[in-house]
Amino acid sequence: SQQGEEDPQALSIQEGENATMNCSYKTSINNLQWYRQNSGRGLVHLILIRSNEREKHSGRLRVTLDTSKKSSSLLITASRAADTASYFCATDKEEAGTALIFGKGTTLSVSS
Amino acid sequence: NAGVTQTPKFQVLKTGQSMTLQCAQDMNHEYMSWYRQDPGMGLRLIHYSVGAGITDQGEVPNGYNVSRSTTEDFPLRLLSAAPSQTSVYFCASRDRATYNEQFFGPGTRLTVL
């Protein structure tokens, strides 16, 4: 079964609003990563947060990690139409030599 | 650098046919993975490799084989295609260190009739 589960499955907002999506996972991790996928394209890495970090920022992105609850959130501030995409969390298990496991994703639609 | 390349971009097969999806990377990454993406299912891990000569199964390995004879290449073989294997396939690679981002290829869209 998949490690991560994003919530909500779909999110529709207006330009300028903030978008928050959540990810829950099952096992202990080394780090958690967020990726973005535009329609019909491959995935692009957005941000990585390590298990000993609680919050990280990158431009308009803010990621939090709560290892006690096994959950993470991605906040996109001041959304733009160009942010319309699917967003996936991916977890890196604690033991070495494993592959990233992805959740089912959140589809974000930003209308102007 | 070309990054992660995949061929072909599109493929149509008939049930029972076999084929190989090609994946190559020029970043000298030791970790490589294959995923399939189906509507509403996110990305599911098929097989992965942590170095030349080493492969392991992911979440959905049945019906697929892989080999890793070189660091650069990681082909995915469909042994006897089935309609359930209709999907978009992504190859990805990353550095050996476990804390790095993963780079994805553009994908192969496969239809099995």
State residue A6's pLDDT score.
84
Query: What's the gap in Å between the CA of B68 and the closest CA on chain A?
Result: 15
Placement of tokens 């992965």 in the chain: B48
State residue A98's pLDDT score.
74
No. of helices (H) and no. of strands (E), chain B: 0, 11
Instruction: State the pLDDT confidence band at B2, using cuts at 50, 70 and 90.
Output: confident
Q: Quote the mean pLDDT of chain B.
A: 93
Query: What's the gap in Å between the CA of B52 and the closest CA on chain A?
Result: 13
CA quadruple A37, A43, A46, A47: dihedral sign: positive
DSSP A94: S
CB–CB contact A2 B59 (8 Å): yes
Query: Considering only CB atoms, which residues of chain B are within 8 Å of chain A?
Result: 31, 33, 35, 40-45, 48, 50, 58-59, 90, 92, 94, 98-107
Residue of chain B nearest A48, judged by CA positions: B101
State residue A95's pLDDT score.
66
State residue A1's pLDDT score.
46
State residue B98's pLDDT score.
56
Sheet holding B19-25, edge to edge: B4-7, B19-25, B76-78, B64-66
Residue of chain A nearest B48, judged by CA positions: A99
CA distances from A36 to A87, B61, B76 (A): 5, 25, 24
CB–CB contact B102 A45 (8 Å): yes
Q: Phi, psi at residue A83, to the nearest 5°?
A: -80, -10
DSSP reduced 3-state for B18:
coil
CB nearest to B104's CB, from A2, A43, A98: A43
The tens digit of pLDDT for each residue in B61-111 reads 999 999 999 999 999 999 999 999 999 999 999 987 656 889 999 999 999
The tens digit of pLDDT for each residue in B46-62 reads 999 999 999 999 999 99
State residue A94's pLDDT score.
64
Name the nearest CA neighbour of B49 among B63, B65, B62: B65
CB–CB contact A88 B42 (8 Å): yes
Determine the straight-line distance between the first and last CA of chain A, rounded to whole angstroms. 37
State residue A66's pLDDT score.
97
With beta carbons under 8 A apart, name residues in chain B contacting A23.
none
Instruction: Give the range among A4-18, A89-103, B12-26, B33-47 with minimum mean pLDDT.
Output: A89-103
CB–CB contact B31 A99 (8 Å): yes
The tens digit of pLDDT for each residue in A78-109 reads 999 999 999 999 998 766 667 888 989 999 99
CB nearest to B99's CB, from A2, A30, A101: A30
Query: Considering only CB atoms, which residues of chain A are within 8 Å of chain B?
Result: 1-2, 30-31, 33, 35, 41-45, 48, 50, 88, 90, 92, 96-105
Asked if residues B26 and B72 have their Cβ atoms less than 8 Å apart, the reply is: yes
State residue B42's pLDDT score.
86
